[in-house]
Structure 1
Amino acid sequence: MNRLPLLALALLAGSCFFPTDKAHAQMPQNAKPSQTPQSHPYVGMWVTPDRHIRHELLPNGRYDEARGTRQGAYQGRYEVTGSEILYWDDTGFTADGVFVDEDTLHHGGMVFHRRK
């Protein structure tokens, strides 16, 4: 019995139940966060419209994210290249995002706006 078609079918069916979320995808093994200060226009506080998630990009290449009343929920390094941002959480989690314009960030399926 040829099991290859069954394996292909199982893999295809699994992709329906386990969608790929780009924000949770692993970064390439050779991608390493910078430890130098970042020079870009996006430093500052970014918030979701309901203000539940507050994401601060610090000038030293670190970020600090608060969720609700939980300060420092996520912390780590980040790097901006053009309009793209890559994150390396201190726990090993990796994520990415894109700045749509100078006041809008799409990250992790959410929309953030610069707090003024």
Structure 2
Amino acid sequence: MKNPSIPLLAAALLAGATLLPSQKGHAQMNTQTNTGQPAASAIVQEPPYVGMWVTEDGHIRHELLANNRYVEARGSREKAYQGRYKVTGTYIEYWDDTGFTADGTFVDKNTLHHGGMIFPRR
């Protein structure tokens, strides 16, 4: 009597498949290195300047979003201006959705200078 699994085994080997013993449960991706630290592929980093930047008096607030968009609030107007931005090194360029442009400089990881104002990170 022929073993019906032999043709399947031969076909799998010819196709380049790797046959492993069956395991119970689901396979899981290893997200840690042998040092116990997260593997590089498991680390998702935000761009360094994403977050909220606010003038000392709290009147103007720039929220830099991870998708390279920003929302600027002024006083009680939560969405006074919106647009896109691009950071090159420590230089930031803004393009408002209405066509207005502006720029600024990050003097360190927690301070933005823009339009003659200082925006600490919040």
Which category describes the TM-score, using the shorter chain as reference length?
A: 0.5 to 0.7
Partner of 1:79: 86
Q: Which has the larger radius of gyration?
A: 2
By relative contact order (CA 8 Å, sep 6+), the higher-ranking structure is 1
* Count of aligned positions: 77
For 2:96, give the aligned amino acid: D
Structure 1 SS opposite 2:52: strand
Given the two structures, how large is their TM-score scaled by the length of structure 1? 0.65
Partner of 1:113: 120
| C-alpha displacement of 1:52 | 0.6
Q: Separation in 2 of the partners of 1:73 and 1:107?
A: 16
For 1:112, give the aligned amino acid: F
Partner of 1:57: 64
Residues 46 and 113, structure 1, Cα contact 8 Å, conserved in 2: yes
For 2:55, give the aligned amino acid: T
Q: Separation in 1 of the partners of 2:67 and 2:47?
A: 11
Partner of 1:15: none
Structure 2 SS opposite 1:95: strand
Q: Separation in 2 of the partners of 1:75 and 1:97?
A: 16
Identity of aligned residues (%): 75
Superposed CA deviations along residues 45-95 of structure 1, whole A, max 9, x for unmatched, are 000000111100000000000000011101000000000000000000000
| C-alpha displacement of 1:40 | 2.9
Consecutive aligned runs of 4 or more in structure 1 exceeding 3 Å deviation = none
Pairwise CA RMSD of aligned residues? 0.8
For 1:43, give the aligned amino acid: V
Partner of 1:101: 108
Q: Separation in 2 of the partners of 1:42 and 1:102?
A: 7
For 1:61, give the aligned amino acid: N
Q: Separation in 2 of the partners of 1:92 and 1:60?
A: 19
Residues 40 and 80, structure 1, Cα contact 8 Å, conserved in 2: no
Partner of 2:75: 68
